[in-house]
Amino acid sequence: MRFPGGHAYISGLSKLPEMPLPAPFRVFSPPSSASAASPAGAQRALLYGRRSPLAGALLFFSIGAVSAAVACRTGCAISHRRLPFLGARGLSSTRMESASTTVPSIVVYVTVPSREAGKKLSQSIIIEKLAACVNIVPGIESVYWWEGKVHSDAEQLLIIKTRESLLDALTAHVKANHEYDVPEVIALPITGGNTKYLEWLKNSTRDN
């Protein structure tokens, strides 16, 4: 609220305790709790704060403390997120990072001519622990250039999930066990996902 005199009336002022002041600041005595509840008392309190800088600082610091307490009683408008010095968010992030046991991971696409060929290659990849999982997607059709002509063939698609560090070994294994002269091996990075799944991926594959 604002009164005709032009000074703001602060609602929590009447609850502030009176504090003794050093001699240099006793020219103006601190306002009593009764007088602070009136417009004249509010004006006197503000005038007192201007004439006595240290007392004014203590006065408004106390007002802020009362306001914070009232806010917490009426719904906790002030939360730890408003207080960065508590470091709550930083500690949480640190714990999450330290608890992570994932590794850089990738998805690899490999096409095969038939389901039988795809199943055989997939099983050999898993046995060698070159991947954690291979999905066999049936019924795809590939249209491509080969030896100067356009070809169209029915194929199966292998979706392979593995570590990034195993890409070279996986590529060599596919080339050695594939029916094509130039098999498709395309890798895409996994930038995020279910942390538990990525941990399982790491634990289900070899180190190198």
Q: Which residue has the tokens 């004006």?
A: 43
Single out the residue of 159, 172, 166 nearest to residue 105, CA to CA: 166
Mean pLDDT of 28-56: 52
Domain boundary among 81, 114, 132: 81
CA distances from 178 to 116, 117, 146, 182 (A): 12, 8, 17, 9
Query: Can you give the CATH number for the domain in which 112 is found?
Result: 3.30.70.120
Residues 75 and 145 in one domain: no
Q: Are residues 121 and 67 located together in one domain of the fold?
A: no
* Residues 69 and 144 placed together within one structural domain of the fold: no
**169 is in which domain, residue-wise?**
105-203
CA dihedral angle for residue 39, residue 44, residue 46, residue 49, rounded to 10 degrees: -160
**Do 111 and 156 lie in a common domain?**
yes
Helix, strand, coil percent content, the chain, rounded in steps of 5: 50, 20, 30
Going by pLDDT thresholds of 50, 70 and 90, the confidence category of residue 208 is confident
Calculate mean pLDDT across residues 144-163: 96
At residue 171 the predicted structure's pLDDT band, cuts being 50, 70 and 90, is very high
110 and 71 in one domain?
A: no
Instruction: Judge whether 90 lies within some domain.
Output: no
User: What is the number of domains present in the chain?
Assistant: 2
Give the mean pLDDT of 28-38. 51
pLDDT in tens, 78-113: 344 443 333 444 433 333 343 468 999 999 999 999
Residues 121 and 197 occupy one common structural domain: yes
Q: Indicate if 44 and 115 belong to the same structural domain.
A: no
Region 189-200: what's the mean pLDDT?
96
